[in-house]
Chain A
Amino acid sequence: MNGLETRRFSSRALVWTALAGIVVMYGFPFLYMVLTSFKTPLETIAVPAQVWPTTWTFDNYADAVTRSGVGASFINSIVTAVLSTLISLLLAVPAAYAITRYRTGLGRAFILVALITRMVPAIVVGVPLIATFRNIGIADTSIALAIAHTTISLPLSIWLMASFFESVPDELEEAAKIDGCSRLGALWRVVLPVTSGGVAVTAIFAFLASWNEFLFALLLTAVRAQTTPIVIANLQTQFGLDWGAMTALAVLYSVPVILLTLVLQRHIVAGLTLGAVKG
């Protein structure tokens, strides 16, 4: 509340109408995709296009999940995203803690360098990584892809965790130390429990970064470790343009994360706006 709200009834009605219009335009594309996934193959490409299916069918879903590689790719996507989230947190938590607690120039420089690495185009890092992973014998595995995905999420994770640690008062740790905790003990027993919300936000972002990533997955996986985005993209070349199966698979892949968003909405908004607004 700072006086930028409208008070007059007429202008408030106008704002409501404008927002409702925008939200409908914004929500429609995905809704239309969901509706399309329940249409028969013929109706998906019928002219003129219709919004509602005339006959509802689950065939597209049955078709999508029974295609070879689809089930395995879902498992790969989950395994890769979970591994990447874990690696990212394991590396980011101590680094962010050191940066906020020791407040040296080195720490600041480190955050700066880490943020700049976020700006490196994926193809620049991805191509040399193909050879690196082959040399250490983990080519086409989920762990290799998870490592690649961590290069994307780690800088953001450090940045987010540093911001959360910043908000923990020093006195809390002093007290823990007086009670005989070591630095690491204080981090583990006192600071992390207090910032568990922040850890959750960081984990969500790392998970999403991996779940939705495409280029690294394209470069670094062949068959065994292929994730679902690659399978979705492949559907268009291997089987012509099968919109029914593609929309069904896209819905299956997106709905879990959309639900996750709705449940954890407030945390995600906090994470998204933290760095920018404080800066």
Chain B
Amino acid sequence: MMLPAALFLGAFVGWPLAQFVGDSFFNISPMAGGPRSFVGFANYAEALSSPEFLNASWRTAAYTIIVVGFEFALGLTVALLFTALGDRSRVFRTIFMYPLMIAPIVAGLLWRFLLIDNFGIVNELLRQVGILRSTDQIQWLSDPNIALFSVAIPDIWLTTSFITLVLFAGLQNIPGDIIEAARMDGARYPTLLIRIVIPLLRPVIAVALIVRGIDAARAFDIILIQTNGGPQGSTETLSLLIYRTMVRFGEPGLASAMGTMYLIVMLAVAIVAVLAIWRPGSDAR
């Protein structure tokens, strides 16, 4: 009964994947059915020696760390606040969850509108409370120095709720007597948090961070709609660079080599993470 699903994944994930990796060893004309010649690892050498590829790799890593870092800090804080309220936090939890259902393309568009320098509401509100002197003081999406951070904002807004919900559920599963015992020993809240709660939550935290990290490393539409990789390439992550190399510059071979390396790194991280946490073969599910 696993066969249909296995065949499906083989035909529509496995086979395209094999074709994609195969393409990375060829120099391919962008026309459909055009000539292709075997070039060995030349595409890999070209990718690895291109500053664009190396910069995009670095940016992808930075973007992922920004997104996951902020989401974890914010997500854990909110989960602890929810827990502090117990059952009465239900209304807040509902409101907090809604961005999860919004399309990334809509979120990117929305934040682009909010962050525009002259008629954007964010700078206007910041000006009204006196943080900014004029509304064009921070150019969120057009200043290359901060654009990578700015494009991460909608991603953080969109999916912090996921981390919060997962951590909140994890917090509910911590046995009350452990907390009780620690309190009897005189542990105050910060100690309790660092010594007891976070260590107990570790597996849950790990799953949440890995799932989000992998999604953040693949972010495409949310960045595309905000900056299209600009200004001056400062937000061009790997998925955008590969798309551009493939579709706009018409170099499928080079794009495939970049994509294959990207894929290998992602899979390596994913496999290490899954093996470390899920441990197939044990009954710890």
Check if A and B associate: yes
Q: Which positions in A face B, CB cutoff 8 Å?
A: 1-6, 11-12, 15-16, 18-19, 22-23, 26-27, 29-30, 32-33, 36, 44-49, 51, 87, 90-92, 94-95, 97-99, 105-129, 131-132, 134, 147-148, 150-151, 154-155, 158, 166, 208, 211-212, 214-215, 229, 232-233, 236, 243, 246-247, 250, 253-254, 257-258, 260-262, 265, 268-269, 272-273, 275-279
Contact of B135 among A48, A110, A151 (CB under 8 A): A48
B97 within 8 A of A: yes
Beyond A15-B81, A91-B4, whether A250 also contacts B106 by CB under 8 A is yes
22 contacting pairs across A/B (C-beta < 8 A): A2-B176, A5-B85, A6-B84, A33-B113, A45-B119, A48-B127, A91-B4, A107-B2, A112-B280, A121-B263, A124-B259, A125-B17, A154-B8, A154-B9, A212-B101, A214-B220, A229-B106, A247-B110, A258-B98, A277-B166, A277-B169, A279-B203
B194 within 8 A of A: no
Closest chain-B Cβ to A24's Cβ sits at a distance in Å of 9
A87 to B11, CA, bound (A): 14
Closest chain-A Cβ to B176's Cβ sits at a distance in Å of 4
A1 to B9, CA, bound (A): 43
Contact of A123 among B83, B171, B242 (CB under 8 A): B242
| B267 x A116 contact (CB < 8 A) | yes
A45 to B113, CA, bound (A): 10
Beyond A99-B2, A214-B221, whether A2 also contacts B174 by CB under 8 A is yes
Chain B residues whose CB sits within 8 angstroms of the CB of A155 once the complex forms: 9
B31 within 8 A of A: no
Known: A2-B176, A120-B17. 15 other contacts (CB 8 A): A2-B174, A15-B84, A29-B157, A46-B119, A47-B118, A98-B1, A99-B2, A112-B274, A113-B9, A120-B13, A123-B239, A127-B252, A166-B285, A215-B243, A229-B105
Chain B residues whose CB sits within 8 angstroms of the CB of A112 once the complex forms: 274, 278, 280
B62 within 8 A of A: no
Proximity string of chain B (92-106) to chain A, C-beta cutoff 8 Å, 1 when within and 0 when not: 111111111111111
Proximity string of chain B (49-83) to chain A, C-beta cutoff 8 Å, 1 when within and 0 when not: 00000000000000000000000000000101111
| B220 x A215 contact (CB < 8 A) | yes
Chain A residues whose CB sits within 8 angstroms of the CB of B211 once the complex forms: 276
Q: Which positions in B face A, CB cutoff 8 Å?
A: 1-2, 4-6, 8-9, 12-13, 15-17, 19-20, 23, 32, 78, 80-86, 89, 92-106, 109-111, 113-114, 118-121, 124, 127, 135, 157, 162, 165-166, 168-176, 179-180, 183, 197, 203-204, 207-208, 211, 214, 218, 220-221, 224-225, 239, 242-243, 246, 252, 255, 259-260, 262-263, 266-267, 270-271, 274, 277-278, 280-281, 285
